[in-house]
Amino acid sequence: MLEKYIKSLVFALVLFGAFAGYMASCIPDNLYFTDENEISIKSMPVVTLETAGTAVSREVSSGGENLRYTAKLFGAIPLKNVNVSLSSARKVAVAGTPFGIKMFSDGVMVVGFSDIETPFGYKSPAKAADIRTGDIIIKFNNTKIENINDVESYIEASKDRQLQVVFLRDNVEMTASFCPVLDITTGSYRTGMWVRDSSAGVGTMTFYDVQKGMFAGLGHGIKDADTQKDIRLLSGEIVPVKIMGVTKSRNGQAGELKGTFLSSFATGQILANSTNGVYGNVFSPPDGNMMEVASPQEIQTGGAYIMTTINGDKAKKYDVVIEKIALNGSNHSKNMVIRITDPELLAVTGGIVQGMSGSPVIQNGKLVGAITHVFVNQVERGYGVFAQNMLDSMDNTDRVYNKKEAG
Active site residue 357: yes
Return the DSSP state at 145: -
- Identify the active-site residue in 220, 249, 359, 393: 220
Active site residue 160: no
Who contacts 10 (Cβ-Cβ below 8 Å, separation ≥6)? Answer: none
Active site residue 342: yes
- Identify the active-site residue in 197, 230, 342, 398: 342
- Identify the active-site residue in 295, 357, 359, 393: 357
- Containing H/E element for 7? helix 2-26
Neighbours of 40 (CB within 10 A): 16
b or e along 197-206 (b: 16 or more beta carbons within 10 Å of the residue's beta carbon)?
bbbebbbbbb
Gap between the Cα atoms of 257 and 269, Å rounded? 23
Neighbours of 67 (CB within 10 A): 21
Residue 204 forms beta bridges with which residues? 98
Gap between the Cα atoms of 247 and 241, Å rounded? 17
The candidate with the shortest Cα–Cα distance to 189, out of 135, 142, 119, is: 119
Active site residues: 220, 342, 357
